[in-house]
Amino acid sequence: VRDGAAMSLRIVRTVAELRGAVARWRRAGQSVAVVPTMGALHDGHLRLVAEGLKRADRVIATIFVNPAQFAAHEDLGRYPSDEVGDIAKLKRAGCHLVFAPPVAEIYPAGFATTVRLAGPAKAGLEDSHRPHFFDGVATIVAKLFISSGADFAMFGEKDYQQLLVVRKLAADLAIPITVIGVATEREADGLAMSSRNFSMNGPGASGWASMPIFSNRSFVSVCASTSAVSPLILRTRSGGVVPGAIRPY
């Protein structure tokens, strides 16, 4: 459903409001896609919205920097944030609803349930550098899937291991949602778009453009730890490991 220039983008902060909005769409017989994000949106996210609009009548974007997927030494406190800018971009992209909850809405006092993963989450790729990461992702993604009740969930192929993990999560927990993988959007020099690319600006940043040579559509994962110095490791399907670069994060 594209309402053109007159379209208003509703922002909701609670699961109850989200469910209410989706219930109204359901009563009108409309299908729903959800685009989970941590904000600081770029064209890769907007492509997910566009692909969602192709499949569903209504598209929800979620904006939530999920503390559960950051280790203590990582960049939670420095993660980029621009809610006003994100909302303007989502409005232009034709998104219908933004769910941007505060931390206490997702993890209220006494929150005690975490999704624990095996399978693709333990493939020895990003998980070997960020052991906490996929359980944190799975916990928030399960909550977003269940809270939105969406038919489709849009995820970038850039985070390929994450895509496999959330597909398995939906299948294993019988969450009735179809996870759609969407091709990676790239900068002019070939670098995959990422909210964290901001930290690659400055002297020597051009070295990062070598990443897509390795990660280009084959089953390759780029594993970057988010400590003060970030060793970039490229691991191929055959198990080979290529140290790509060492760069201050």
SS (H, E, C) 161-222: HHHHHHHHHHHHCCCCCEEEEECCCECCCCCECCHHHHHHCCCCHHHHHHHHHHHCCCCCEE
Does residue 159 bind ligand PAF (CB under 6 A)?
Answer: yes
Of 9-17, 81-89, 137-145, 198-206, the segment contacting ligand PAF by CB under 6 A is 137-145
For residue 68, the minimal CB distance to ligand PAF (Å) is 8
Min CB(140)–ligand PAF separation in Å: 5
CB of 66 to ligand PAF, least distance (A): 4
Q: Smallest distance, Å, CB 205 to ligand PAF?
A: 22
Find the catalytic residue in 42, 45, 73, 132: 45
Residue 243: beta bridge partners? 233
Q: Work out whether 38 is an interface residue with ligand PAF (CB under 6 A).
A: yes
Q: Does 125 bind ligand PAF (CB under 6 A)?
A: no
One residue of 21, 53, 115, 141 binding ligand PAF per CB under 6 A: 141
Does residue 73 carry a catalytic annotation?
A: no
22 sits near ligand PAF (criterion: CB under 6 A): no
Q: Pick the closer one to ligand PAF by CB: 36 or 101.
A: 36
User: Residue 137 interacts with ligand PAF (CB under 6 A)?
Assistant: yes
Of the residues 36, 44, 120, 244, which one makes contact with ligand PAF according to CB under 6 A = 36
- Return residues touching ligand PAF (CB under 6 A): 36-38, 66, 69, 137, 140-141, 159, 162
Residues with a known catalytic role:
45
